[in-house]
Structure 1
Amino acid sequence: MSGIFENVELRNVQALYLAVRSLFRDAGLAEADLDARVLTAEALGIEPRNLVLEYDREISTEVLTVITRYAEERLAGKPVGRILGKREFWGLEFSLSQATLEPRPDTETLVEATLAFCQTNGGFDKPWVFADIGTGTGAIAIALLSELPNAICVAVDISEEALETARQNAANNGFKSRFIPVRGSYLDALNGTFDFVVSNPPYIRSAVIEGLSHEVKQHDPMLALDGGDDGLTAYKELIGNAKRVLKRNSGLLMEIGFDQAEELSTLARELVGLEVRCEHDLAGQPRVIVVVFP
């Protein structure tokens, strides 16, 4: 056997998975076991949860060719989602493009906080009309549409490529008719009023960008990362102008960086005279702020 699997006897799927896992562990990948399982399963055309059921299956030349390419790309620093061109979020599958971030598990905290807001203010069946600012893949909007059967979302992004990706994801997941993509910058793209607005805006300080991991710098769009000198540029825009597009007793819900809760609380008081509520992710880090407009 040549290449990265040289001197490895790949008798079956189990041996292949263990070989890939070993390569990833030796390379110090943070999620070596998970990455190996996902990529091996994808090469085999099965769900990762079913990998163990296929352990005795023989390896074809085609599968070996595919997994070799996947493993080489991962070892070169390409994230799994970028290798496969897709990512799971909220139990749904989303295609990626160069203009979109990979939806990450921490962002599900924003979906959970928004659903809690909806439950408190009329229930899931209410005909909600909401906006998602900086929609990217459409993951947040589409996850919410999957739980709010009568809702309609206006999804805004400055990138036409991102909007096309989001539009396709909405169609693939069965929500095309309730997903309205609009190209524009922040809230300037919106007319009318909304029940709530959600956003995962760029919030990384410009000076910090250079220190990000290779995987992020090389594969995530800077437009979706760079939050300006203080990391607050998008929040100033959203909080300062939200009242124009929100109904009474409505909400602005946004993902935040782990160290921004206090700054954003001060910002909301200064700009609109309102307090914010902070929600934490599974690691206990501040992840979402909720501003309720009376």
Structure 2
Amino acid sequence: MAALHETTATATVPRQRSAGGFHAAEGRTAFFFLLPSLLGVTLFLVLPIIASLVLSFTNWKLLGAPAFVGIANYVRLFTADPQFWPVLRNTLFFTAEYLVLNIVISLGLAVWISSLKMGQRWFRVIFFLPTFTPTIAVAIVWMLIFAPDGLFDSVMSALSIHMPSMLTDQKLAMQAVVIVSLWANVGYNTVLFNAALDMVPVNYLEAARIDGAGAWARFWKIRLPLISPTLFFGTVMTAITSLQVFDQIYVMTRGGPGNATATLGFAIYQRGFENFQMGYASTIAWVMFAMIMALTALQFWLQRKWVHYDN
């Protein structure tokens, strides 16, 4: 018996070693296939982020060698740049209005689609189609609609409603950008929330209906809490993208009239590629990054109060 046990133990060792060698070979093969993606992420994401951080402490003007200036760019941004605070205010205003309207409209459309007995798939496709359209193309079309004497002005005149042109009025220009952004992007959250509503167990709703709960009570007490994780995800992603708004503003208003629609994203482009102040543009970019991280952290902290996960 001892000899048999020794023989079995001896035979097991090579098998373990071969298994370990097999796993090592698998790892090398996996690394080989992942290498192109890792190189792409490193070259086009990690290194540019590091370079941007380094450049924010220099006065690089695109041409010539950068010179280290420490935190002078940050001091200038917060204390000496007269355009920063209006631009920051515009960014926060757009983010707040667009975020609220996007969530409310998309959730309302999702609830309406889920209540339909026929054609739900078609309406999902219809509302989701604008998200496939390039934002630049969408902005060009809407710029023509909102242009002076364009389609919008013609419709307002036909209805005997006298109002200034959307793109040339300082109070209405940002509203035009919000409208275009909603039209182009509200479909994503609509489909997302509609899919979450379809996953709510029917027996919960039936039990509430039997207990006498109305449609509003069923939505507020059952459906909304159950889809709160999806709602939280949509809110976080929408907030992040709204803080980075650029395409619509670049095409439709170029930050105008005046600075009425200038945002941090447009300010980064303007400073970096029009004024050739790459170091200063990198400073604005990192301030925007800090704002995104702070807003996301705040949302994750607040989600403990209203997001309900199914344990």
Taking structure 2 as the reference length, what is the TM-score of the superposition?
0.20
Greater share of strand residues, 1 or 2? 1
Larger radius of gyration: 2
Greater share of helix residues, 1 or 2? 2
Which structure carries more relative contact order (alpha carbon 8 Å, separation 6+)?
2
